[in-house]
């Protein structure tokens, strides 16, 4: 009896390595409850089991890299185009996301053959209507964040944050590295405090009067307004207004959650099916209503919370290729660090 128990224990050590036939392995860095529900729907529809390994993107990427050609990963799903781009640059992705369904759903600048955007977000400016006038904001752009008139009035999170890296990468793409380095110095000089906390903390700092303007992603305000974060944050969110920068030129900086096809994926066909599923109107609606992102495809409208409070009729930057976020990522970090951006 004892021996059997021991034997079972030892064999169970290896069980996890045996794989089942019809499945897709997802390295997942998006941890919204809503995503899990979508994966279950996919399994119910197709019979394909979705295996998840959740983690922070960095750790997941490293595991894919170290496992190399033997990696069990099929899809890598994460919340920034910069990350998908960086994985591509390192040669860990493969072509294959080229089906007609994908191509017709996603605009060209938001996909490559190796990774595609599955939901959009904009990185925008939040301001206190009590302390910031319309005149001050008029024609405001990301470039304008370095304007000395914002001295001591701006909050933005750390330079190590991927959303900031992608934003700065897009500025490097449009304005060049030298101009962006000057810009970063101006931004650091304008900060109301050393960078700390997440995007939501920046919005709350404006609500609480610690700063007048903040840079953060669109879905955070909707999340706070939804009441999912409690009544206090709902109140706080009402003290802040959203502003979409660069409306007079290239448009507001857009980013995506992306799904990338991993090199050597053992279940490539299933991975493509899952991506196509995530781009169906049904899945897109699920995203917009639960994570408050913008839909990737036409014909689905964002959550009413987003539409009513942020507005929709803003000009999105459709020109800057999202692939440049990955390409310029290292330069972006270097630029910010050199400027003393914590």
Partner 1 sequence: MKFNSWYISSFLISFIVLIPIITVFTSFFENTSNYYEILKNTFLIEYISNSFILLISVLFFTFLIGTGTAYLVSFYKFPGSEFFKWALILSFAVPPYIYAYSLTAFFENYGTAFTILKNLFGDGNYNKNIPKFDGMFGAILSISFSLYAYVYILVRASFLYQPQNLIDLGKNLGFSKFKSFYKIILPAARPAIVAGLSLVAMETLAEFGAVDFFSINTLTTGIYNSWITFDDLAFANRVSFFLLLFIFSLFILENLSRRKAKYHFNSKGGFKQKEKIRISGSEAYLAFIFCFLIFFISFLFPLSQMLYWTLKFPENLFDLPIINLILNTLYLVILSSFVLIIFSLISNYGNRVSSNKTLNVLSTLSISGYAIPGVICAIAFITFIAWFDNSIIKSLGFNSIKKIFIGSILGLVLVYFVRFYSLAFNGIKSGYEKINISVDESAYLLGYSKRKTFMNIHIPFLRNSLLFIVILISLEIIRELPITLILRPFNFETFATTAYISASEDLLEAAAVPSLFLILIASLFIIITSKYILRENNE
Cβ distance to partner 1 smaller for residue 58 or 152: 58
Residue 138 main-chain phi, psi, to 5 deg: -55, 125
Is residue 194 near partner 1 by the rule CB under 8 A? yes
Site for partner 1 in 53-72 (CB under 8 A): 53-56, 58-59, 61-63, 65-68, 70, 72
Shortest distance, position 250 Cβ to partner 1, whole Å: 28
Is residue 12 near partner 1 by the rule CB under 8 A? yes
List the one residue from 74, 199, 212, 293 that touches partner 1 (CB under 8 A).
199
Shortest distance, position 70 Cβ to partner 1, whole Å: 4
Q: Say if CB 92 and CB 114 are below 8 A apart.
A: no
66 exposure class (CB count in 10 Å sphere: 0-12, 13-18, 19+): exposed
Is residue 232 near partner 1 by the rule CB under 8 A? yes
Site for partner 1 in 107-126 (CB under 8 A): none
Closest by Cα among 81, 40, 34, 36 to 54: 36
List the one residue from 77, 167, 172, 207 that touches partner 1 (CB under 8 A).
207
Cβ distance to partner 1 smaller for residue 164 or 174: 164
List the one residue from 204, 222, 275, 297 that touches partner 1 (CB under 8 A).
204
CB atoms within 10 A of CB 275: 26
Shortest distance, position 138 Cβ to partner 1, whole Å: 28
Q: Say if CB 117 and CB 257 are below 8 A apart.
A: yes
Q: Using CA atoms, how far apart are residues 124 and 255, in angstroms rounded to an integer?
A: 11
Binding segment (CB under 8 A) for partner 1, from list 14-22, 40-48, 130-138, 311-319: 14-22
Q: Would you tell me which residues interact with partner 1 (CB under 8 A)?
A: 9, 12-17, 25, 30-33, 51-56, 58-59, 61-63, 65-68, 70, 72, 90, 158, 160, 194, 196-201, 204-205, 207-210, 220, 228-230, 232-233, 235-236, 330, 333-334, 337
């Amino acid at each position: 009896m004892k021996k059997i128990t021991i034997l079972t224990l030892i064999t169970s050590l290896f069980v996890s390595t045996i794989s089942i036939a019809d499945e897709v392995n997802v390295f997942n860095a998006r941890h919204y409850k809503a995503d899990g529900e979508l994966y279950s729907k996919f399994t119910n529809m197709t019979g394909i089991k979705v295996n998840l390994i959740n983690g922070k993107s960095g750790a997941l990427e490293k595991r894919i890299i170290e496992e190399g050609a033997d990696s069990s990963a099929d899809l890598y799903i994460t919340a920034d185009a910069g990350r998908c781009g960086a994985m591509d640059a390192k040669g860990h992705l493969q072509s294959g996301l080229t089906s007609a369904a994908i191509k017709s759903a996603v605009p060209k600048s938001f996909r490559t053959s190796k990774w595609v955007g599955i939901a959009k977000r904009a990185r925008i400016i939040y301001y206190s209507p009590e302390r910031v006038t319309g005149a001050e904001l008029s024609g405001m752009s990301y470039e304008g964040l370095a304007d000395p008139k914002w001295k001591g009035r701006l909050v933005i999170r750390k330079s190590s944050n991927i959303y900031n890296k992608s934003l700065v990468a897009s500025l490097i793409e449009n304005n060049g590295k030298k101009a962006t380095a000057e810009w970063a110095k101006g931004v650091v000089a304008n900060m109301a405090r050393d960078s700390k906390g997440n995007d939501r903390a920046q919005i709350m700092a404006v609500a609480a009067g610690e700063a007048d303007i903040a840079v953060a992603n669109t879905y955070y305000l909707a999340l706070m307004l939804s009441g999912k974060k409690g009544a206090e944050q709902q109140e706080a969110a009402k003290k802040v207004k959203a502003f979409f920068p660069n409306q007079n030129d290239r448009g507001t900086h857009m980013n995506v959650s992306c799904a990338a096809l991993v090199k050597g994926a053992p279940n490539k066909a299933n991975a493509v099916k899952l991506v196509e599923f995530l781009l169906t109107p049904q899945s897109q609606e699920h995203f917009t209503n639960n994570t408050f992102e913008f839909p990737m495809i036409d014909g689905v409208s964002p959550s009413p919370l987003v539409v009513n409070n942020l507005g929709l009729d803003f000009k999105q930057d459709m020109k800057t290729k999202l692939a440049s976020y990955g390409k310029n990522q290292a330069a972006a970090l270097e630029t910010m660090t050199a400027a003393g951006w914590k």
